[in-house]
Amino acid sequence: MMVIPNVRNFAKSCIVFLLGRETKPRKILRGLASGYRICVSPAENLAYLLGTAETHLQEIIKEYVGTGDIVYDIGANIGYVSLSLAKRVGATGLVIAFEPVPRNIASFRENIQINRLANVQLLEFAASDKRGDAVIRFAENLSTASLVWHRNDPSATRLAIRTVSIDELVESGELRNPSFIKIDVEGAEGNVLLGMRRTLAAAKPVLFVECSEAGRETAWYLLRELGYQCQSAITRKWVQVFEEYSHSDFLWLPTTPPRIAN
């Protein structure tokens, strides 16, 4: 049973040895973002370069995102998913990314600049249910940065950040309505959705949501109330009951058309 994992680990070690461990701009070889460059270390993010990171999300983006679309990447990290979205929407579309962590922001901006992309806009905020100030915490690495987790961990690093409500930004004219939204916010998805309730009701975008224990109840009942149906993003099986909505990635599809133009 251990043969396949061992072979994979050996193959990864060989690739890392050939490419080197240095963090620098490197070409993405496969996947939706292929041809773009991203500043990573193969030792840490080889899957980005090989196009094997979150292949289920890549398939969903291929299915639901097209030329000219307006899309949101909430919890954008260093921009790998934003690069994939940018390739799909093209020059006439727009990717609006939300990322509050300063080190991620710097990496994200570098990755957009090295690819000379004009169709990606970065907002240096955490999307939430209201505008204000907050504390985000992370333990081992920045991929665990969360407004919810690590509150009882004295070793966690704390960062002061700003939050925004997407409803406020859309209604003020600062943002255009989206047709697709990816949400990966380490437990805070409930507040993100509460802060865009009116936008969801009007625009009816397709949603890709990473489900957490902290946010699952708010997300489930809010989206069901707004007329969305849920699928597993991995198996694409319909999820009919709350008990099946747990600790995974999910696709939420509107059952009614948008009331306004996206």
- Please check whether residue 122 lies inside any domain of the structure: yes
Do 80 and 38 contact (CB within 8 A), yes or no? yes
CA distances from 56 to 46, 65, 151, 186 (A): 17, 14, 31, 18
pLDDT in tens, 100-122: 999 999 999 999 999 999 999 99
Chain-wide mean pLDDT for the chain?
Answer: 91
196 domain residue, yes or no: yes
Q: Is residue 152 part of a domain?
A: no
Q: pTM above the 0.75 mark? A: yes
CATH of the domain at 231: 3.40.50.150
What is the residue-wise DSSP string for 239-256? E-SGGG--SSEEEEEESS
What is the extent of the structural domain holding 235?
54-128+165-254
Q: Residue 49 falls within a domain, yes or no?
A: no
Q: What confidence tens digit (pLDDT) does each residue in 229-254 have?
A: 999 999 999 999 999 999 899 999 99
Contacts of 179 (CB under 8 A, 6+ apart): 64, 65, 69, 70, 71, 203, 205, 206, 262
Residue 255 has pLDDT above 60, yes or no: yes
Instruction: Examine residue 158 and state whether it is found in any structural domain, yes or no.
Output: no
* Domain tally, the chain: 1
Any domain includes 148: no
For the stretch 127-162, pLDDT in tens is 999 999 998 888 877 777 777 767 777 778 888 999
Residue 136 located in a structural domain: no
Structure confidence at residue 136 (pLDDT)? 87
Residue 12 domain-assigned (yes or no): no
Q: What pLDDT, on the 0 to 100 scale, is given for residue 132?
A: 95
Contacts with 205 (C-beta within 8 Å, 6 or more apart), sequence order: 72, 177, 178, 179, 180, 181, 199, 254, 262
- Return the ∠ at Cα 247 (arms to 246 and 250), rounded to 5°: 75
Among 123-127, 145-149, 190-194, 198-202, which stretch is predicted with the lowest mean pLDDT? 145-149
Residue 140: the pLDDT is 75
Q: How confident is the model at residue 5 (pLDDT cuts 50, 70, 90)?
A: low
